Structure formats: structure tokens, C-alpha cells
């Protein structure tokens, strides 16, 4: 329901065809900025990106399966030549037949074969066997062949590398969420600051208009009295100059109000032609929290401390990943050939197994990475300490500014009462010729100065509160003070 209301509000604010705009509250301005601001959208996309990265790293637990295919051409057919074995077989067989013939002659009562006879028989037997026994040359793989293979690998033990890589990705997502929160806080504080600028300028313009009316009345009185001969011409001319100055100041502040509105629209993500109307006023409201309470809130809620802690966790996981390089890596693998008709007799159609590897020496790179990570860990600790000190200092400054602005605002009330009374008395005397036009103008300017200075003091008071809540990481707490 809140989202629907916010969308309707933004649509209304963006509609430039309306002549009269509905007044918006500070909360509505903040809600519109949270929905429309481009910087918030940018960091929201970064969060979505890191979520996908987490899903990506979880894929490291699953097997990696690839399909590879291609055509291959070799310089010649791949063959297996066993001719030496064939020749050895022929030699042995021919020799045996010669010996059988020699034994047969002896058994028949003849004499043994002479060396010449042996050589002739051996040559004859060898030639006959050579013709009968085929050549031992086999084509194992043709010159051109196709290959289509499915390969897979499943990690079994990687020394914790996959586990901690996944945890680092989780922390990256949390860092992105903390950065988004930090950005929303900054945009909220910027809306509050720009909103206060608009309210201040509207208040100042109200004072300027009252001063202009007073100067106009005084100019008319001076002109009448001058025409009656009761004052010199220079006093009348002085009232004309004062009226022109009041008109110029009013015009300048109207231009500043337009710029303040433009800054507010920009932060809210609206077009410069959108029509806005703000009816709030700068009214003093107390704040009861102490400086100690603000510091305690900052240590808990400030996103920068969350980011630092997440970075410390990431460095811890990074150290464990780098330490895993000293441990063995074990994985299961498999391979299957789809086009087995192109396989040689020496190649299997499929194969599975388990492999392991461990690095024995790589120039001490892994050791140096561990040392580097240790120094990063110390660096982030110093950063945390320095950030804490700066947050404390910033809170001290803004809190002192708050007290000073509040004190100045309270003290100016007496000045305003005195200036109003002085203007009343001086104006009355001028009517009777007992004071000069310059006295009336000076009294009017003193009142104007005190009224504007009091409004500025109140503006700076709220500005300090805004800065304090931004520093604590709770900028929307400002609404509780503003809406009291």
C-alpha cells in the first residue's frame, strides 16, 4: 500500500500540466527520492549483480561438462609397422624347416646337409614364407577423421578453495547491500538538507516581503511628509533607496529559492519542470539525545563500520584460499567419444578416473601471497580505528555546532523584541518629525537582520541534527524531531 501511494505521489509530482501543486511533506520527499534517485538505482543494480555472482560461485560445486567436436587432418595415415617381427618369424620358421630337412636326410640313411645345401634351402623356405605371411603394416587412424567428445570433471577436494570463494562472494553481496544502505542514507540526508534550504528561503522571503512592505509604507510616509515640507528632500530620497534595496534583496532571495527547489527536485529524481509546493516552517523543536548516545548509535548503525567488518571477513577467507594452495587438489574426471568409428584400436571409447595434483615449487609466490594478506588484515584494522576516531570527531563537531546554533537562536529573541520596539518608536517619532528617515531605515534593517539571523540559526540547528543522524547511520530519525 505504501508503494502504491509513493508511485501515485511521484506521478503527481512529475505532472507539469498542473498549475497548483499539492504541498508535500519531508517524508514524502524522502520516499520519492528513495524510489526515483539514480544513484540509489545504481547501487540497487550492484546488489543484484552480486547476488548473481553468489549463484555463479555455487556452480563450482557442480561438475564441469564440455562437448568438444572437430575435424582433423594429419600429414599421413597413422600406421603400425610390425615388419621386424614378421622377418624374425620368417627367419625362425625357415631355419626350423632347414633343420627338419637335415634330420630327415640323416634318418633316411643319408649324410647331413652341406652349408651350400642349407643356404639354398633356407633361401627357398624364406621366399615361400614371405609370400605366404602378409605384411605386418596396419592403418590405425586415417589421415582425415572427425572427433566428438564429452568430457567432465568433478572437484572432490580443493583444499577449501571453493568453499571460501563462495563465502567471499556472499560477503561481497553483503558489502553491496551495506553500500546501498549507505547511499540511501546519503540521499535521505541530501533531501533533508535541500528541503531545509527551501524552507529557509521561504522563511527569509517572508521576512523580506514584510521588510519591503515596511519600506514601502515608510517611503509613502516620507513622500507625504516631504510634500508637506516637514522633512528635507534627502530623507525622502533615502527612503526611495532603501525601498529599492529591499526590492533587490527580495528578488535575489526568490532566485535562491528557485535554485533550492531545483536542487531538491534533482535529489528526488524529478524533472526540473515538476511543480512542488512546501508549506513547512522553521519552528524550534528540542532534541534530547546526548553525544554519548549518538556515538553508541554510530558504532551500531553506521554502514561504514559494517563494510569494514565485511572486508575483514573477506580478507580472512582470502587467507584460507591462499593457504589451500599448499594442499593437494583431487578431482574425478571422465571422457566419452561419441563418434567411435574414427577411433583407433589403441584409443578407448570412454575412460574415467581420479586425478590429484600438488604444487611443489613456484618461486615462493604462494608464500608471499599469504604474507601480503596478513598485511592487508593489519591495514583494515588501522582503517577501522581511524574511521572510528573520525566519526567521533565529526559527531563532536556537529554536536557543538548544534549547541551553538540553539544558543544563538534563543539569545536572538531578546534582540528581536528590542528591534521591534525600536522600529515602532522610531516610526512614531518620524511621523512627528522627531527622527530622521535614516533612523527608521536603520531600525527596519536591524529588525530584518535579527529575524533572518534567527531563522538561519534555526536552519543551522536542524542542519547539524541532520549531519549527526547521517553520521550515526539513522538519517530518518530526523523525521521524529521535525514532526514533533
In this predicted structure, what is the pLDDT of residue 136?
67
In a domain, 164, yes or no: yes
pLDDT single digits (tens) 329-368: 999 989 999 888 888 777 888 999 999 888 888 888 888 8
Among residues 74, 101, 135, the one where a domain terminates is 135
**Number of domains into which the chain is organized:** 2
**What letter would DSSP give residue 443?**
H
With respect to residue 389, please indicate whether it lies within any of the assigned structural domains.
yes
Section 168-174 average pLDDT: 94
Give yes or no: residues 36 and 114 share one domain: no
Terminal Cα-to-Cα distance of the chain (whole angstroms): 25
Instruction: Indicate whether 90 and 174 sit together in one domain.
Output: no
Is the same domain home to 107 and 207?
Answer: no
Domain annotation covers residue 390: yes
- Same-domain pairing of 410 and 323: yes
Do 57 and 88 lie in one domain? The reply is no
User: Do residues 307 and 268 both lie within one domain?
Assistant: yes
Q: Using a CB cutoff of 8 Å and minimum separation of 24, what contacts does 77-82 make?
A: 77/139, 77/141, 77/142, 77/143, 78/139, 78/140, 78/141, 78/142, 78/143, 78/344, 79/137, 79/138, 79/139, 79/140, 80/137, 80/138, 80/140, 81/136, 81/137, 82/136, 82/137, 82/138
pLDDT at 365: 86
Supply the range of the domain harboring residue 282: 2-66+159-332+364-482
Q: What's the rounded Cα separation, in Å, for the pair 311 and 317?
A: 10
Query: What mean pLDDT is predicted for residues 304-321?
Result: 93
**Are residues 468 and 400 in contact, defined by beta-carbon separation less than 8 angstroms?**
no
Query: Do 216 and 321 sit in the same domain of this protein?
Result: yes
CA atoms within 13 A on the CB side of 279: 4
Q: Is residue 127 part of a domain?
A: yes
Angle, alpha carbons 217-219-220 (nearest 5°): 65
- Range in 63-77, 122-136, 198-212, 290-304 the model is least confident about: 122-136
Query: Exposed, middle or buried by CB within 10 Å (0-12, 13-18, 19+), for 461?
Result: buried
Among the listed residues 482, 458, 472, 470, the one whose alpha carbon sits nearest the alpha carbon of residue 292: 472
Residue 6 reports pLDDT greater than 50: no
Residues 301 and 420 both lie in one domain: yes
pLDDT > 90 in the chain, percent: 54
Amino acid at each position: 500500500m505504501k508503494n502504491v501511494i509513493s508511485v501515485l505521489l511521484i506521478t503527481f509530482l512529475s505532472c507539469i500540466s498542473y498549475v497548483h501543486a499539492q504541498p508535500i511533506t519531508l517524508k514524502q520527499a524522502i520516499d520519492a527520492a528513495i524510489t526515483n534517485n539514480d544513484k540509489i538505482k545504481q547501487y540497487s543494480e550492484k546488489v543484484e549483480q552480486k547476488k548473481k555472482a553468489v549463484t555463479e560461485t555455487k556452480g563450482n560445486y557442480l561438475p564441469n561438462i564440455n562437448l568438444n567436436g572437430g575435424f582433423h587432418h594429419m600429414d599421413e595415415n597413422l600406421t603400425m609397422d610390425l615388419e621386424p617381427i614378421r622377418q624374425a618369424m620368417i627367419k625362425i620358421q625357415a631355419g626350423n624347416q632347414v633343420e627338419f630337412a637335415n634330420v630327415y636326410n640323416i634318418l633316411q640313411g643319408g649324410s647331413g646337409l652341406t652349408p651350400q645345401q642349407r643356404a639354398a634351402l633356407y633361401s627357398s623356405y624364406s621366399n615361400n614364407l614371405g609370400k605366404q605371411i602378409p605384411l605386418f603394416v596396419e592403418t590405425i587412424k586415417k589421415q582425415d577423421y572427425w572427433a566428438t567428445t564429452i568430457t567432465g570433471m568433478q572437484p572432490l577436494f580443493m583444499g577449501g578453495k571453493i568453499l571460501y570463494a563462495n563465502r567471499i562472494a556472499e560477503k561481497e553481496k553483503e558489502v553491496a547491500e551495506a553500500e546501498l544502505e549507505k547511499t540511501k542514507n546519503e540521499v535521505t540526508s541530501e533531501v533533508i538538507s535541500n528541503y531545509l534550504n527551501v524552507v529557509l528561503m521561504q522563511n527569509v522571503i517572508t521576512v523580506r516581503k514584510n521588510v519591503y512592505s515596511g519600506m514601502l509604507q515608510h517611503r509613502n510616509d516620507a513622500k507625504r511628509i516631504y510634500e508637506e515640507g516637514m522633512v528635507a528632500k534627502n530623507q525622502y530620497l533615502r527612503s526611495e533607496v532603501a525601498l529599492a534595496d529591499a526590492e533587490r534583496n527580495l528578488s535575489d532571495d526568490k532566485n535562491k529559492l528557485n535554485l533550492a527547489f531545483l536542487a531538491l527536485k534533482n535529489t528526488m529524481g524529478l524533472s526540473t519542470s515538476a511543480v512542488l509546493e512546501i508549506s513547512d516552517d522553521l519552528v524550534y523543536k528540542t532534541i534530547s539525545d546526548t553525544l554519548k548516545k549518538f556515538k553508541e548509535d554510530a558504532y551500531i548503525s553506521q554502514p561504514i563500520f559494517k563494510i569494514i567488518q565485511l572486508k575483514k571477513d573477506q580478507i580472512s577467507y582470502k587467507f584460507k584460499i591462499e593457504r589451500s594452495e599448499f594442499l593437494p587438489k583431487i578431482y574425478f574426471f571422465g571422457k566419452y567419444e561419441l563418434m567411435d568409428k574414427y577411433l583407433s584400436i589403441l584409443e578407448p571409447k570412454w575412460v574415467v578416473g581420479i586425478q590429484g595434483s600438488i604444487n611443489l615449487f613456484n618461486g615462493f609466490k604462494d608464500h608471499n601471497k599469504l604474507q601480503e594478506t596478513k598485511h592487508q588484515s593489519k591495514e583494515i584494522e588501522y582503517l577501522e580505528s581511524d574511521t572510528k576516531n573520525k566519526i567521533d570527531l565529526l559527531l563532536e563537531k556537529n554536536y557543538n555546532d548544534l549547541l551553538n546554533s540553539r544558543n544563538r537562536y534563543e539569545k536572538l529573541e531578546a534582540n528581536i523584541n528590542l528591534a521591534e520596539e525600536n522600529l515602532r518608536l522610531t516610526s512614531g517619532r518620524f511621523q512627528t518629525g522627531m527622527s530622521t528617515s535614516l533612523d527608521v531605515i536603520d531600525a527596519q534593517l536591524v529588525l530584518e537582520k535579527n529575524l533572518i539571523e534567527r531563522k538561519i540559526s534555526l536552519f543551522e540547528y536542524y542542519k547539524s541534527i541532520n549531519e549527526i543522524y547521517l553520521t550515526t547511520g539513522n538519517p530518518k530519525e530526523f523525521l521524529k524531531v521535525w514532526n514533533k
